[in-house]
């Protein structure tokens, strides 16, 4: 199907409404990209928090074991 504009300038200008149309599409793009990035960041941040908690748990478990071994030796 053929479009309505004959040149890129004509397309971007959209008569005298280019500013309004592009502001609408631009703001919509910006808001959705921000939401996407934010939600992705949330999931990644939660994953790394769980991972670091697991590491501290492991360290505590191993140090408890170490203490126990010392007691056994003595």
Partner 1 sequence: MASNWRWFHQLGSPKWFFEKSAKWLPWLWALFFILLGLGLYHSLWVSPQDYQQGHSVRIMYIHVPVAALSMVGYVAMAIACTIGLVWKMKMAFAAARAIAPVGAAMTFLALFTGAVWGKPTWGTWWEWDARLTSELLLFFLYLGFIALHSSFSERNKADKAASVLALVGVINVPIIYFSVKWWNTLHQGYSLGTGGVADEFKPALFIMIAAIYVLFANLVIMRLRAEVLLREQKARWVADWAKGSEKGVKR
Q: Which is nearer to partner 1, 47 or 68 (CB)?
A: 47
Q: How far is the CB of 13 from partner 1 (least distance, A)?
A: 9
Angle at 33 between CA 49 and CA 23, to 5 degrees: 155
Residues that bind partner 1 (CB under 8 A): 1, 3-5, 11, 14-18, 20-21, 23-25, 27-28, 31-32, 35-36, 39-40, 42-43, 46-47, 50-51, 54
Total residues belonging to the chain: 74
Cβ burial of 14 (10 Å; 0-12, 13-18, 19+) is middle
Q: How far is the CB of 64 from partner 1 (least distance, A)?
A: 18
């Amino acid at each position: 199907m053929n479009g309505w504009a004959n040149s890129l300038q004509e397309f971007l200008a959209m008569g005298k409404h280019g500013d309004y149309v592009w502001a609408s599409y631009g703001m919509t793009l910006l808001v959705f990209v921000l939401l996407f990035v934010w939600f992705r960041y949330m999931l990644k941040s939660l994953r790394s928090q769980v991972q670091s908690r697991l590491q501290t748990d492991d360290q505590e478990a191993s140090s408890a074991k170490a203490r126990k071994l010392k007691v056994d030796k003595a």
